Amino acid sequence: MGTENILSSSVLMGFLLTMARVSSVFVFVPVPGLKSAVDPARILLMMGVSVALFPVWPRVPAETPPGLLAVWILSEAALGVGIGLAVAFAVEAFSVGAQLIGMQAGYSFASTIDPSTQADSTVLIVLAQTSAAVLFFVMGLDREILRIFARSMQTYPPGSFVLTRGAAETVLLAGSTMFSTGLRLALPIIAVMVMVDISLALLGRVNSQLQLLSIAFPIKMMVAVGLLAWLSMLLPTLLRGGSEFTFRAARALAVR
């Protein structure tokens, strides 16, 4: 009798709706190695997160029609995608900044294998993505996602969430922080790179016999490495500042 109560159709449908919301978020949340992991590992991770949210599972009536359940699953997936996008914008800001720095410092020609996609990518972008993913868990932002999920289960029971224009604009507005944070990350290094170019141009103007072209790239690359080492101390502050706005947008989307 106890087994029948635990595995009732109402509980199973609540688990299915929670799983739909959780799995759609993991499409965008930057979990290191998740995209390259085998399917059973990803399924177990999503099921584990869904089981962790058991106290806030929705209580679905057992007589719910299958068509209505399918509509609810789509609405749950839409809510999960919106939350995942809002969170991913804070992390992708590091990739935007790395792209801007790589073009100015000459690292756009140095490529390596992206561990998440197994495709060629520039060194700075892979370094930025890995650093952002590690800081994401070190700073406890993953627990914030679970809190948003737990609250959204109470404020948006199954079938009550409707994707509106205001919700879409909230997510798109959170995307603006991706570019602003990336620019704040790259702007100091870009400014120094411009000063290095101006200095080399003036030296070449003073003495046209100097072969500065052969040493311009090594100088800019060494200066960029030194500045990145100094800027690494500010990465947690930049991620915290960018994530505050994106998580505020995620709360506005998931909480009434």
DSSP-derived 3-state class of residue 197? helix
Instruction: Kindly state the helix (H) or strand (E) to which residue 112 belongs, with its residue range.
Output: strand 111-113
Q: Can you give the pLDDT at residue 114?
A: 64
Domain ranges of the chain: 2-254
Which ranges constitute the DSSP H helices of the chain? 2-6, 9-25, 39-52, 66-105, 123-138, 141-155, 165-206, 213-231, 235-254
Q: Can you give the pLDDT at residue 32?
A: 59
pLDDT tens for each residue of the chain, 256 residues long:
444 455 677 778 888 888 888 888 777 776 655 666 566 777 787 888 888 877 777 777 777 787 888 888 888 788 878 777 877 887 888 888 888 887 777 776 766 666 566 666 677 888 888 888 788 888 877 788 778 777 777 777 666 777 777 777 777 777 777 888 888 888 888 888 888 888 877 877 777 676 776 777 778 888 888 888 888 888 888 788 777 777 777 777 766 5
Task: State the Cα angle at 169 between 163 and 170, rounded to 5°.
Answer: 90
Round to whole Å and give the CA distance between 15 and 25: 15
Q: Can you give the pLDDT at residue 17?
A: 82
Q: Can you give the pLDDT at residue 1?
A: 44
| Residue in the block written with tokens 């948003």 | 148
pTM surpassing 0.95? no
CB 149 within 8 A of CB 206: no
